[in-house]
Amino acid sequence: MGINHWPVSERPREKLLSMGPAALTDAELLAIFLRTGVTGKSAIDLARDLLTEFSSLRALLEADRKTFCQAKGLGDAKFTQLQATLELCRRYLKSSLERSDALTSPADTRAFLTAQLRQHPHEVFAAMFLDNKHRVIAYEELFRGTIDGASVHPREVVKRALHHNAAALILAHNHPSGITEPSRADQQITQRLKEALELVDIRVLDHFIVGDGEALSLAERGMI
């Protein structure tokens, strides 16, 4: 039976409008994105099959083009639509931070950095440049490495900070393994950058490590 024959209160779109998006399951949200099902399957049935096939919503959203398009009911049109949606989310988070009077919400910072870095299959080192009121000036991905690590050059970080006339920085990088526990190398490069930036009166406020789950803050660990 198609979704249009379901009780109105159980249809994903109507449920979202009456109860809000948080009330929907992953399958229901995905069904709204898919819009239509395939022969013999409603959009919600297809969504459930896809979540089972990919094991999780995250794996589906982060699948490469080839893997994504091989799944039944998907293809290049859905892939481009999904990539555009994900990029809109990243830009929304960025604009939300840039509009704020000051960067005071660790949750917003975590959400933004996670959206920017978690999907990379290799290690990426980035920085958020802040003014003297801790408002975001810019976000830049500075170094890219292999899955084993990235080479981080303090001189280049200082150079970019001076270019933006930044008063403070928040550093971030991802662990493609998904494990956010800081390594000895993570702690050492944080200390090196902190010392280099202090020479030009720029503070390092935090260093986030992005992996599976919640991004880890070195400042909250007392490591900065």
pLDDT mean by block of 10 residues, the chain; 224 residues? 63 88 90 86 89 90 90 90 87 69 72 88 93 90 75 93 96 92 92 96 96 92 90
Angle at 186 between CA 183 and CA 188, to 5 degrees: 110
| CB-count burial class (<10 Å; 0-12, 13-18, 19+) for 195 | exposed
Task: Give the pLDDT confidence score for residue 8 in this predicted structure.
Answer: 59
- Do residues 179 and 188 lie in contact, with contact meaning Cβ atoms separated by under 8 Å? no
Angle at 176 between CA 175 and CA 178, to 5 degrees: 75
| CB-count burial class (<10 Å; 0-12, 13-18, 19+) for 77 | exposed
Q: Give the whole-angstrom CA distance, residue 151 versus residue 162.
A: 20
Task: Give the pLDDT confidence score for residue 2 in this predicted structure.
Answer: 58
Task: Give the pLDDT confidence score for residue 106 in this predicted structure.
Answer: 75
CATH class belonging to 99-217? alpha beta
Q: What tokens appear for 158 in the block? A: 């200082």
- Do residues 79 and 63 lie in contact, with contact meaning Cβ atoms separated by under 8 Å? no
Q: 151 by DSSP, 3-state: which?
A: coil
Task: Say which residue the tokens 């099959």 belong to.
Answer: 49
Strand (E) or helix (H) holding 204? strand 203-210
Task: Give the pLDDT confidence score for residue 97 in this predicted structure.
Answer: 66
Q: Give the whole-angstrom CA distance, residue 149 versus residue 122.
A: 8
Q: Give the whole-angstrom CA distance, residue 213 versus residue 121.
A: 16
Where in the chain are all domains bearing CATH 3.40.140.10? 99-217
**What is residue 7's DSSP assignment?**
-
Task: Give the pLDDT confidence score for residue 67 in this predicted structure.
Answer: 93
Task: Give the pLDDT confidence score for residue 13 in this predicted structure.
Answer: 86
Q: Give the whole-angstrom CA distance, residue 129 versus residue 93.
A: 16
- Do residues 150 and 173 lie in contact, with contact meaning Cβ atoms separated by under 8 Å? yes
Closest by CA to 152, choosing from 161, 144, 164, is: 144
Cα dist. 212→58, 126, 216 in Å? 10, 18, 10
Task: Say which residue the tokens 């090196």 belong to.
Answer: 192
